[in-house]
Amino acid sequence: METLFFGLVAAIAIISSILVITNKNPINSALSLIMTFFCVATLYVMLEAPFMAAIQVIVYAGAIMVLIVFVIMLLNVRNESSRRTRHALFIGTTTGLVLLVQTWYLLGRSSLTGAKGKIDSAMIAKEGHTELIGKSLFTDFLLPFEITSILLLAAIVGAVILSKKKL
Amino acid sequence: MVSLHSYLILSAILFAIGTIGVLTRRNAIVIFMCVELMLNAVNLTFVAFSKYLGNLDGQVFVFFVMTVAAAEAAVGLALMIAFYRNRESIDVEDLNMMKW
């Protein structure tokens, strides 16, 4: 049952991500990308990471995609003109496929060591996923967390400066 | 029980599709969306490994990747608006102002 569901979600994710790169209209691409994000959020739930699924939907499918759709509508982007160069299409597709075959080959040959950490399903069910993430974030990863706030501040200042009328 | 291998194959496929999109499309916003797709493929790998290795550090990394993606979205879209104001286009082939 779980395998069947995984197959269904994976198929929808792959089809909608192919639609992202084949659609001529950027708005259709954006909507397909939101579909892909929802599929990935579903996979996070299957991987017992409900907090990650929640922030995937809120941050990615909510905040970031709203920003992108907003900019597409603001700029009134037309459909891509058809002066697309053939060789760029060919080289890009070949590079992507070579990358895929390479990854597939490496995944087929590799194996895990089998070392297990101390977090398992029972512990997540008992303590709660968000609590575990929070505990880890505010103890082991406190410095990166603080640096993230500086990054966000820099991004805010940068975005305001860049979108000023007189650059 | 879905194996770790299936998740890794799925995220490899999503990453490859994102790469193809970045290399073949010419609309800057679509290229940007393909980069987001690649980031998502990597996030899926992180969460899958985190589950199968019984360690939450990967998911904390996903949290940081999402933060960086949000900052990137804000700055990248501001850049595109500034570019559109100069050139009336967001086609990457018109991005040649710094060409010598």
CA–CA min distance B93, chain A (Å): 10
Q: Which of the residues B39, B66, B92 would you substitute to probe the A interface, choosing the one with the greatest number of A C-beta atoms within 10 Å?
A: B66
Question: Within 10 Å of residue B51's Cβ, how many Cβ atoms?
Answer: 23
Res. A79 pLDDT band, cuts 50 70 90: low
Asked if the ipTM is above 0.90, the reply is yes
pLDDT at A101: 93
Query: Is A47 in contact with B48 (Cβ distance < 8 A)?
Result: yes
Residue A45 has pLDDT above 70, yes or no: yes
Q: Which amino acid, A39?
A: C
Res. A82 pLDDT band, cuts 50 70 90: low
State percent of chain A over pLDDT 70. Answer: 94
**How far, in Å, CA of B81 to CA of B89, rounded?**
10
Res. A144 pLDDT band, cuts 50 70 90: very high
pLDDT at A128: 84
Q: Is A6 on the interface with B (CB under 8 A)?
A: yes
Report yes or no: A94 and B30 within 8 Å, Cβ to Cβ.
Answer: no
Q: How many helices (H) and strands (E) does chain A have?
A: 8, 0
CA–CA min distance B35, chain A (Å): 11
Which range (A89-103, B16-30, B79-93) has the least confidence? Answer: B79-93
